Amino acid sequence: MIVLDITVMNVALPRIHTDLHFSTTGLSWVMNAYSLVFGGLLLLGGRAGDLFGRRTLFIVGITLFTLASLVGGLAPTAPWLIGARIAQGIGGAMAGPSTLALLTTIFTEPKQRIRVLALFSGMSSAGFAIGLIIGGLLTEWFGWRSALFINVPFGAAAAVLALRYLPGSVRQPARLDLPGAFTATAGIATLVYGFIHAAADGWGNTTTVLTLAIGAALLATFLTIEFRTAQPLLPLRLFADRTRAAAYANMFLGPMAGMSMFFFLTQYLQEVRAMSALATGFAFLPTAALMFVMVRLIPRLLPRLGPKPLTITGTVLMGTGLALLALLRTDTGYFPMLFVATVLLGCGLGLAFSPLNVIIMSTVPAQDAGAAGGALQTLQQTGSALGLAVLVTIFGTAARATTGSPEQVLVGGITAAFTAAVCIVVLTFLVALTFPGKTARTG
C-alpha cells in the first residue's frame, strides 16, 4: 500500500495539476508532502514500536493511513490534499518500521529470514507494478480521486486481519527521542522547501538562501543530538559494519536518481506526447515488471554472487537508461528509445537495490530491528524526496533558460534533470564498488 500510493499519484499528477490548480513546481509537493513526513518520522516510528509494541503501531498506522486516503480523495483544494498526504505520511511512518521489525524478529532462522526479506522487497516492487497500471486505469476511468479511495478497502482489511493474525510483540525499554525527531523532520523539510523555492525564484533569492541555511543547521543539530543521546533515533552502531553502512548509503542515493524517472517521464508522456493516463501507466510496465522479476531472482543470486556484482550491474544499467532519457526530444517516440530505457531501468533498479534490504536487516540484532528498519526506510524516502527536490530545481532553472514552444521548454528542463540524475548514479556506482564479493553473511 505504501509503495503503491507513490506510483498511483505519479500517474495522476497531470489531472491533479489541472483540477486543483497547482503550480508546475508546487505539484511536486503532492509527492514530497508524503515522502518528507514519512521519511522524517520513520526513525521515531521505529523507536515508538519498541516502546508501545510493534503490532500496536502497525495497526494504528494502517488505520490512520486509510482514513487519510479517504480524506485526500475528497479534497476540494490543493492545501486539503497536501494535508491529507501529510497524514498519510504519519500513518506510513508508524506502520513501516514495524513491518520490517516484525518480519525480522518473527523469522529468526537465517535462510528463512533472507527469504522473507526478499519477499518483502518483492511486494514493494509489486506495489510499483500494480500502482502504475491501476493508477492509469483509475485515473482514466474514474478520475484521480479514485487513486486514493482504492486504499480504503485494502487498508480496512489489513487492519482487521492484523488484529486477528499478527502475534503480539514484546515491548522493550525505550525513550522517544523527540528532539531528534523534530530536528530531523524539520531539517529535511526545510532543505527540500529551499530547493523547490530555488526552482521557482532562483538560487540568489533571500528566502532560498535562508531556508537552505536553516535546513543545514537543523540537520547538524540532529547529528549532535544523536551523538549525545543514550537512546538515539539513529543508533550509530548500525553503521559500524562497513557493508551495512555502504548499503545504507546506496539506499539513500539510489532513489534520488531512480524515483525521479517516474515524475519527469510522466510529465513528458502526457504533456509532450499527449498520452492518456492509462497509456502512461502501461508505458511504465516494462520497468515495473522487470523490477519484480529481478527481485524474485535476488534470493538465488545473492548467496551465489554476493552483493557487489549485483549492485554494480544494476547501477550501470540504471545509469544507461537515464542517459537515454537525457536525449529526449519533443518528437521522440516510445519505440525504440523509451522502451529500451524503461527496460534498462527495470533491470537496473531491481538488481541495484533489492539486495539492500537483505544486507541491512539479515544480521541486525532483535533489539535494533525497529531502529534498523526505520533507518532503512528513512534514507530511502528522504533520498527520494531530496532527489526530486534537487532535480525539480535543475528542471526549473533549465526550463527558464530554454526558448521555443511550451513543449520545447518542458523537454529542456526534463533532459537537464535526467542528466543530473546520471551524475547521482555515478556516485551510487562508486559506493557499490566498496561492497564485498561473495560472503558468508549474505549466504
Q: Does domain 2-177+231-432 have CATH number 1.20.1250.20?
A: yes
Regarding pTM above 0.85, the answer is no
Say which amino acid occupies 256.
M
The C-alpha atoms of residue 91 and residue 112 are separated, in whole angstroms, by 29
User: What nine digits make up the cell of 186?
Assistant: 524539520
Contacts 24+ apart (CB under 8 A), 195-198: 195/386, 195/389, 195/390, 195/392, 195/393, 196/25, 196/26, 196/28, 196/29, 196/32, 196/389, 196/392, 196/393, 198/393, 198/396, 198/397
Domain spans of the chain? 2-177+231-432, 178-230
Cα(176)–Cα(310) distance, rounded to whole angstroms? 37
Q: What is the pLDDT of residues 318-352, one digit of tens each?
A: 999 999 999 999 999 999 999 999 999 989 988 88
Cell reading at 424: 547521482
What are the residues whose beta carbons fall under 8 Å from the beta carbon of 149, sequence distance 6 or more? 69, 70, 73
- CA 220, CA 213: separation in Å to the nearest integer? 11
How do residues 355-385 score in pLDDT, each as one tens digit? 888 788 877 877 777 778 888 877 887 787 7
Cα–Cα distance between 231 and 443 in angstroms, integer?
Answer: 31
DSSP tally for the chain: helices H, then strands E? 17, 0
Q: Averaged over 236-257, what is the pLDDT?
A: 89
Of the candidates 389, 395, 383, the one whose C-alpha atom is nearest the C-alpha of residue 419 is 395
pLDDT of residue 343: 94
pLDDT at position 428 over 70: yes
| E runs forming strands in 216-266 | none
Residue 373, class by beta-carbon neighbours within 10 Å (0-12 exposed, 13-18 middle, 19+ buried)? buried
pLDDT of 256 over the 80 cut: yes
Instruction: Please say whether the beta carbons of 369 and 105 come within 8 A.
Output: yes
Q: pLDDT at residue 302 above 90?
A: no
Identity of the highest mean pLDDT range in 159-163, 185-189, 202-206: 159-163
> Which pLDDT score is estimated for 381?
74
* Burial category of 240 from C-beta neighbours within 10 Å (exposed 0-12, middle 13-18, buried 19 and up): exposed
What's the rounded Cα separation, in Å, for the pair 49 and 170?
10
Tens of pLDDT, residues 134-146? 777 887 788 889 9
Tell me how far apart the alpha carbons of residues 40 and 183 are, in angstroms, rounded to a whole number.
9
Mean pLDDT computed over every residue of the chain: 85
CB neighbours of residue 360 within 10 Å: 24
DSSP string, 283-323: HTHHHHHHHHHHHHHHHHHHHHH-HHHHHHHHHHHHHHHHH
At 25 the pLDDT is: 65
To the nearest whole percent, how much of the chain has pLDDT over 70? 94
More confident residue, 13 or 340: 340
